[in-house]
């Protein structure tokens, strides 16, 4: 490990960055160093801009990944290197606003029918039944199940915040069956390695396999189940601020994106054209006496 990488990691640890963020930042900076075959401390803003263009055009990185690189570079040069140049000139890519893929409840049922392993089925049902992220599902501990209050405790979720998620009677029944079968001690979903929990990658792989076996043409990830959870709650009349709390969103406008894909919200909203036609019918005058008599 180079002194620069060590110093950058220490700077991130002092600011309590998550291990995933640290890995992502180091990955991007290592790629920058390999591209120019030199230490990043010898590069300037124009060099960084060239590499950013390379990521977007040649590597076809998504807007989110390009922006993550910008964040990593800003941290390196502003915090670790205390560079004299202004990194504010580094542009961020505009992230396209795409509606999430949502499964119908019939598709969700068919999906779960094709999850072969009890371990994966229980974990994926937590993602749908409680609206958890994949990283939150795999990191659940046995002690996080509060059957008395019917809650799931999510420790250090996104943004390193604790919160509580809903624990429905059906989900509690599923988790109890899983506990009786596997007898986990610490992690609710232990992995194959000792004292480790299930990895997000393995759960995503199980999700893809079940989707293919079920014959679903939609691109389904664990996050699709979370999206479906929120949309189905909205369609059932749950207040959007309650959904915001359950999902752990800081801002209500993040949760409001689900109104774009809820068919009940769309179909249940009256068009202004309907009001216009009603007014026209009420305000229409007969053209002659015969029409008036009719």
More confident: 90 or 39:
39
Asked whether residue 250 is domain-assigned, the answer is yes
More confident: 193 or 271:
193
Instruction: Note if 223 is an active site residue.
Output: yes
- Same domain assignment for residues 78 and 126: no
In angstroms, the first-to-last Cα distance of the chain is 92
Asked whether residue 292 is domain-assigned, the answer is no
CATH number of the domain encompassing residue 66: 1.10.150.130
Domain count, the chain: 2
- Same domain assignment for residues 85 and 111: no
- The mean pLDDT of the chain is 84
Q: How many CB atoms lie within 10 A of CB 166?
A: 16
- Same domain assignment for residues 204 and 80: no
Give the pLDDT mean for 101-113: 89
Asked whether residue 195 is domain-assigned, the answer is yes
Structure confidence at residue 219 (pLDDT): 86
Residue of 121, 163, 232, 249 marked active site: 249
Instruction: Note if 121 is an active site residue.
Output: no
Cα dihedral 7/9/14/17 (nearest 10): 160
- Same domain assignment for residues 109 and 65: no
- CA dist 235 to 59, 229, 245, 247, Å? 40, 10, 17, 16
Asked whether residue 220 is domain-assigned, the answer is yes
Asked whether residue 271 is domain-assigned, the answer is no
Residue of 7, 92, 223, 257 marked active site: 223
pLDDT digits (tens, 9 = 90+) for 246-293: 888 877 767 777 666 555 555 555 556 565 655 555 555 555 555 545
Residue of 141, 153, 158, 257 marked active site: 158
Cβ(48)–Cβ(31) below 8 Å: no
pLDDT band, residue 218 (cuts 50/70/90): confident
- Among residues 43, 65, 89, which one ends one of the domains? 89
- Same domain assignment for residues 193 and 241: yes
Instruction: Note if 208 is an active site residue.
Output: no
- Same domain assignment for residues 122 and 260: yes
Asked whether residue 231 is domain-assigned, the answer is yes
- Same domain assignment for residues 29 and 170: no
Residue of 121, 133, 163, 197 marked active site: 133
- Among residues 54, 89, 124, which one ends one of the domains? 89
Instruction: Note if 289 is an active site residue.
Output: no
Structure confidence at residue 87 (pLDDT): 77
Structure confidence at residue 84 (pLDDT): 79
- Same domain assignment for residues 13 and 159: no
Tell me: pLDDT of 244 over 60: yes
More confident: 126 or 86:
126
Which structural domain range is residue 226 located in?
105-266
**Mind spelling out the 3-state secondary structure of the chain?**
CCHHHHHHHHHHHHCCCCHHHHHHHHHHHHHHHHHHCCCHHHCCHHHHHHHHHHHHHCCCCCHHHHHHHHHHHHHHHHHHCCCCCCHHHCCCCCCCCCCCCCCCHHHHHHHHHCCCCHHHHHHHHHHHHHCCCHHHHHCCEHHHEECCCCEEEECCCCCCCCEEEECCHHHHHHHHHHHHHHCCCCECCECCCCCCECCHHHHHHHHHHHHHHCCCCCCCCHHHHHHHHHHHHHHCCCCHHHHHHHHCCCCHHHHHHHHHCCHHHHHCCCCHHHHHHHHHHHHCCCCCHHHHHC
- Same domain assignment for residues 85 and 183: no
- Same domain assignment for residues 112 and 251: yes
Asked whether residue 111 is domain-assigned, the answer is yes
CATH number of the domain encompassing residue 201: 1.10.443.10
């Amino acid at each position: 490990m180079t002194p620069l990488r060590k110093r950058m990691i220490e700077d991130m640890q002092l600011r309590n960055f998550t291990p995933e963020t640290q890995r992502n930042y180091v990955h991007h900076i290592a790629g920058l160093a390999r591209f120019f075959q030199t230490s990043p401390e010898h590069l300037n803003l124009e060099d960084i801009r060239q590499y950013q263009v390379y990521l977007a055009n040649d590597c076809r990185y998504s807007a989110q990944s390009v922006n993550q690189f910008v964040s990593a570079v800003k941290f390196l040069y502003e915090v670790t290197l205390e560079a004299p140049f202004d990194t504010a000139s580094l542009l961020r890519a505009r992230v396209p606003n795409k509606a999430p893929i949502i499964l119908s409840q019939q598709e969700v049922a068919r999906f779960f029918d094709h999850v072969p392993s009890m371990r994966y089925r229980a974990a994926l049902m937590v993602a749908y039944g409680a609206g958890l992220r994949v990283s939150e599902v795999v990191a659940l501990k046995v002690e996080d199940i509060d059957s008395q209050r019917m809650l799931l405790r999510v420790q250090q979720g996104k943004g390193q915040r604790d919160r509580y998620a809903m624990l429905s009677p059906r989900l509690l029944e599923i988790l109890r069956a899983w506990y009786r079968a596997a007898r986990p001690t610490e992690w609710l979903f232990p992995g194959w390695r000792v004292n480790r929990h299930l990895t997000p990658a393995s759960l995503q792989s199980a999700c893809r396999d079940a989707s293919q076996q079920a014959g679903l043409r939609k691109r389904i990830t664990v996050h699709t189940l979370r999206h479906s959870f929120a949309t189905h709650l909205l369609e059932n009349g749950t207040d959007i601020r309650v959904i915001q709390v359950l999902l752990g969103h800081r801002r209500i406008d993040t949760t409001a994106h689900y109104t774009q894909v809820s068919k009940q919200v769309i179909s249940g909203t009256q068009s202004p054209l309907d009001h216009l036609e009603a007014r026209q019918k009420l305000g229409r005058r007969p053209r002659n006496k015969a029409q008036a008599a009719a």
